Amino acid sequence: MRGIPIAIIALTLAHSNAAAAANPTIVFNFESQTLEKPPKTVKAGATVVFRLKNINRILYDIDLKGKTLSYNSTAAPGLLALLGIQASSIGITTPEDIVKQIRHQVDILRCAAQYEQELKNILSLSPVIDSGVIAKLKERADIALNCTDSRGNSISFTGGTNLITQANEAFKFIEQNLSKLIAAANANIPDPEAKALLEIVNKLLADKASVISAVLAGQRLYDGVIQETVFNVTTSVVARNDAVQFTFTVKPAKGFESTPGLVTMERTITVPVVGNWRVNFSGGLFAARLADDAVTIGERTTTTTSPAPPGSQEGTITNVSGGITITDTVDKAGNLTHTEKGRYVFGQPQDRDTLFPGALAHVYPALGGGIQPALSVGGGTNGTSPFYVAGGSLIFGVAEKRIIFTAGLVYGKVKRLAQGLAFGQVIPDSRTEITNSIFRTGSFMSITVNF
């Protein structure tokens, strides 16, 4: 009795492990144009299965993740017409009825090679696919495996896998008895049917690879109907990035472009990935309160005129003091013109934002939502000096073309007015460079788009 609880526990654990190991599946029902309860998120490292179901793959071509899936025929041009040549009405004259037997084998090849096209004709009658239609199509696919040869004899294939087997056996029989057919065709009294059949057989043997290829196509299509892969497309991907994405395009297949009721559509299905840490990169525009002082050197001249002091002599006197050139001129009329000319600091200090392009690297846990918090570092340049930034980000979106808002600190080299100078004041010497490059920190904000 003690073994029973242990067995129950083992079975429970096995069931739990099996459930945990089940791959998350995304199913899009093409017939109803709906998603069938897709998972809200998937775990990193999981194999995610995508299934496009209830679609007639004979009528539609499907582009899934850049790969086109089509059920176009692989038979060589003219092959089916060759295999469809009917026997003449001339009776059998050879003792062993070898012509009749080889004709039967040729008909087997014809039925097997034409099966793909016959099955396509059946499938093309059902543009809308559901479970009831699938069951009927399977039944018709099995019925279509029965064929009649040119003599009215029944040719029956027991299943899709039997197509290629019987085709190979037919070729083997023809090759083994070819000499007898040649003898019948070249006898003293030639058999006209043998001569006609020999011509067909020679063409078949010369194009054996194409015949086998056509038979394999029929077998593949039959298997697809029975296993329902003709009504479903399945693929999978391992969840590694921020989101798992499946993009597919459906359009009418060649030859069915004008068929009523067929549609063309493109759809992208996105499911967030959770449970891992991600690194992402983005680029965009930064605004930083770490701008260069906006300074220029400009000249300023002031002139006043007044009566000259008594006893002043006509003439001009020039002096330089503190970077200002002072000129006093007394004219004949006794007027004194006083002129002061100097170089001044014009502009404003860096109490403003500067804009510059840059890039960021973001590190964040994949939470599976449409908004992800992240830690970010990066840099940019204003054209003359680099800047380095670090801060926090909010990433909006779960797939491509996400927008990231970031704020934090910026560190970089900026130009500041040199010590001893002041805005609006005179420059006391002859220097031409009035700023110094120094490193400073400030705040920044950015809006970027992921690469």
pLDDT at 430: 76
Q: Domain for residue 5, yes or no? A: no
Asked if 414 and 292 touch (Cβ cutoff 8 Å), the reply is: yes
327 shares a domain with 202: no
Higher model confidence: residue 4 or residue 231?
A: 231
90 shares a domain with 62: no
Cβ partners under 8 Å of residue 11, min gap 6: none
Axis-axis angle for helices 192-206, 178-185 (nearest 10): 140
Q: Domain for residue 120, yes or no? A: yes
Q: Is the pLDDT confidence value at 84 over 80?
A: no
For residue 12, name the pLDDT band (cuts at 50, 70, 90).
very low
Sign, Cα dihedral of 368, 371, 376, 378: positive
Alpha helices in 95-158 (DSSP H): 98-123, 131-143
Q: In what order do the strands lie in the sheet with 324-330?
A: 294-307, 335-348, 324-330, 315-321
Rounded to an integer, what distance in angstroms lies between the CA atom of residue 223 and that of residue 227? 6
User: Residue 371's beta-bridge partner residues?
Assistant: 396
434 shares a domain with 393: yes
Q: Domain for residue 369, yes or no? A: yes
444 shares a domain with 425: yes
Residue type, 215: V
Boundary (domain end) residue, out of 309, 328, 348: 348
Higher model confidence: residue 71 or residue 438?
A: 438
Rounded to an integer, what distance in angstroms lies between the CA atom of residue 26 and that of residue 39? 7
Q: What DSSP line would sit under 2-54, residue for residue? A: THHHHHHHHHHHHHHHHHHHSPPEEEEETTTTEE-S--S-EETT-EEEEEEES
- The predicted-structure confidence for 146-200, as pLDDT tens digits, reads as follows 888 777 888 888 766 688 889 999 999 999 999 988 988 888 776 788 888 898 8
Q: Is the pLDDT confidence value at 232 over 80?
A: yes
Q: Domain for residue 381, yes or no? A: yes
Rounded to an integer, what distance in angstroms lies between the CA atom of residue 162 and that of residue 156? 9
Closest CA to 66 of 243, 233, 247: 247
Q: Is the pLDDT confidence value at 93 over 70?
A: no
Q: b vs e for 1-26, b when ≥16 Cβ sit within 10 Å of the residue's Cβ?
A: eeeeeeeeeeeeeeeeeeeeeeebbb
302 shares a domain with 264: no
Rounded to the nearest integer, the mean pLDDT of the chain is: 82
For residue 2, name the pLDDT band (cuts at 50, 70, 90).
very low
304 shares a domain with 378: no
Closest CA to 210 of 70, 302, 75, 342: 75
The tokens describing 250, both together, are 């459906």
**Overall number of domains in the chain:** 4
* CA 355 distance to own-chain centroid: 33
Sign, Cα dihedral of 116, 119, 125, 126: negative
- The predicted-structure confidence for 51-72, as pLDDT tens digits, reads as follows 999 999 889 999 987 677 766 5
Q: Domain for residue 9, yes or no? A: no
- The predicted-structure confidence for 382-421, as pLDDT tens digits, reads as follows 777 889 999 999 999 766 678 999 999 999 888 877 877 8
Backbone φ, ψ for residue 110 (5° rounding):
-60, -50
325 shares a domain with 189: no
Q: Domain for residue 168, yes or no? A: yes
The tokens describing 422, both together, are 């002041």
235 shares a domain with 144: no
Rounded to an integer, what distance in angstroms lies between the CA atom of residue 389 and that of residue 405? 13
Residue type, 265: M
Q: Is the pLDDT confidence value at 40 over 60?
A: yes
CATH number at residue 39: 2.60.40
Rounded to an integer, what distance in angstroms lies between the CA atom of residue 184 and that of residue 167? 24
Rounded to an integer, what distance in angstroms lies between the CA atom of residue 222 and that of residue 214? 12
Q: Is the pLDDT confidence value at 145 over 80?
A: yes
Boundary (domain end) residue, out of 302, 333, 348: 348
Least confident of 4-8, 302-306, 334-338, 350-354: 4-8
Rounded to an integer, what distance in angstroms lies between the CA atom of residue 448 and that of residue 26? 31
Boundary (domain end) residue, out of 244, 273, 302: 273
**Can you give the residue range of the structural domain that contains 254?**
22-70+231-273
Asked if 393 and 406 touch (Cβ cutoff 8 Å), the reply is: yes
Least confident of 40-54, 153-167, 222-236: 153-167
Q: Is the pLDDT confidence value at 17 over 50?
A: no
Rounded to an integer, what distance in angstroms lies between the CA atom of residue 317 and that of residue 211? 115
Cβ partners under 8 Å of residue 196, min gap 6: 87, 88
Q: Domain for residue 299, yes or no? A: yes
Sign, Cα dihedral of 150, 152, 158, 159: positive
Residue type, 220: R
417 shares a domain with 329: no
303 shares a domain with 161: no
CATH number at residue 395: 2.40.160
Sign, Cα dihedral of 399, 405, 409, 411: positive
389 shares a domain with 316: no
- The predicted-structure confidence for 343-383, as pLDDT tens digits, reads as follows 888 877 765 678 889 999 999 888 877 788 999 999 998 77
192 shares a domain with 66: no
Cβ partners under 8 Å of residue 164, min gap 6: 112, 212, 215, 216, 219
Q: Domain for residue 16, yes or no? A: no
What own/partner pairs with CB < 8 Å and gap ≥ 24 does 18-22 have?
Answer: none
Residues composing the chain? 451
The tokens describing 158, both together, are 């027991």
Axis-axis angle for helices 208-226, 192-206 (nearest 10): 70
How far, CA to CA in Å, does 294 sit from each of 77, 203, 433?
A: 78, 89, 13
